[in-house]
Chain A
C-alpha cells in the first residue's frame, strides 16, 4: 500500500469516527433535553399558589370553639398573637384565649396541624410550617409542623413571610414550605 493510499484510508477512518461522535453527541443532547426539562409551569404555579393560599387562609380562619372570650378570635392575629405574648407560660400557664381549655400556643399548633392535614395532607403534599418569634433577644421557634419529613434539602416553594405584630412581644414570622 502506497503512502497516499494509507493516508486516504486514515482520513476515511477519521471521518467515520467524526460521524459516530456527531451521532453520539446528538443522542446525548436529546437525553439532556429530557433530563433537564424544567418542572411544568402548572406544577410551580400550583405549589406557590397553594403555599400562599393555605397560609393566608389559616391566619384568616376564625376559631369557633369556646375560647373563654367575648369575641370570636382569628387563628392568626388573635390566637397566635396571644401565644407569642404568653409564650413563656406555655404549655399550661396563662393565656388570654383558652380555646377548648388549652393554652393558645398548644391550641394554635393543634388546630393548624389539623387544618393542614385536612387539605395539603389529603393531597399527599410534603410541607413544613414554621412559626417563630423575633424580638430583641433574637429569634425563637414557637412551633414547627411537618408532614412526611418536611422540606429540608428539597426543591420547595414558599408562601412568603406572613408577619404578625405581637404587642410588647415582638414579631411573629410565619412561613409555609411546600415541596415535592
Chain B
C-alpha cells in the first residue's frame, strides 16, 4: 500500500518536473529566437543609420548645395553647375578622399520637372554586398545656366530628388 502510494507520488513529481523543464526549454528556445531576430534588427538599424548619415552628408555637401556668396546655403537645393563639376571631382578623388565620406554607396540625382534627367554623382558598388538600403529626399535643382542663351538671365529651379543607396 505504502509502496504504491510512494510510486504514485514519484510519477507525479517526475511529471511535474518534466512539464517544468519543457516550459524552461520553450523559454530558452524562444529567447534564442528573439535574440537572433534582435541581432538581425540591430544590423538592419545600423545600415539604416548609415543610410541616414550618408543622405544628410550629401544633402549638405558644399560641393552640391546651393549657396550665394556669404549668405546661408539653401536647404534641399542642389546647384546643377556645382554638381556637374563635382561629378568630375568625385570621380578623380573617389578613393583618395570621397570614399572616406560615402564609403560603398550610390548617389544619384533625378530631375522630374521641367524635364526628366538623371545624374550619377557618386558610384562605389560593393560587389559582395548582402543588403542595400535606399533613401530618397526631394530637392530643387537650381539652374543658372538654363537662361544664359536667352535674353533673360533668370535662375530656374527644377523639381527632383536625390537617391542615396548604401551597401552592407
Contacts and interface: CB of A to CB of B under 8 A. Distances in A.
Interface of A: 16, 19-20, 23, 26-27, 30, 34, 40-42, 45-46, 49-50, 52-54, 56-58, 60-62, 64, 71-72, 74, 114-115, 118-120, 123
Interface string B92-136: 000000000000000000001110000000000000000000011
A57 B140 contact: yes
Contacts of B113: 61, 64, 114-115, 118
30 contacts: A16-B16, A20-B23, A23-B27, A30-B30, A30-B31, A40-B48, A41-B45, A41-B49, A42-B48, A49-B137, A50-B137, A52-B76, A53-B75, A53-B137, A56-B75, A56-B76, A61-B113, A61-B158, A62-B155, A64-B114, A71-B154, A72-B154, A72-B156, A74-B157, A114-B113, A115-B112, A115-B113, A118-B159, A119-B138, A119-B159
B80 interface: no
A12 to B, nearest CB: 9
B38 to A, nearest CB: 9
A60 B112 contact: no
Contacts of A71: 154
B159 A57 contact: yes
Given A23-B27, A72-B156, A115-B159, A57 B139 contact: yes
Q: Does more than half of chain A's interface fall in helix, strand or loop, or is it mixed?
A: helix
Nearest to A58: B159
B45 A62 contact: no
A161 B51 CA distance: 27
A123 B76 CA distance: 19
Contacts of A115: 112-113, 159
Contact of A50 (B138, B154, B157): B138
B167 interface: no
Nearest to A46: B135
B52 interface: yes
B44 to A, nearest CB: 8
A45 B157 contact: no
Contacts of B156: 62, 64, 72
Given A19-B20, A42-B45, A27 B30 contact: yes
A61 B157 contact: yes
Nearest to A42: B48
Contact of B138 (A27, A34, A57, A72): A57
Contacts of B23: 20, 23
> Which 3 A/B pairs are nearest by Cβ-Cβ distance?
A42-B48, A64-B114, A54-B138
B83 interface: no
Interface string B3-23: 000000000000010001001
Nearest to B142: A60
Contacts of B139: 53, 57
A77 to B, nearest CB: 12
Interface in B38-97: 45, 48-49, 51-52, 75-77
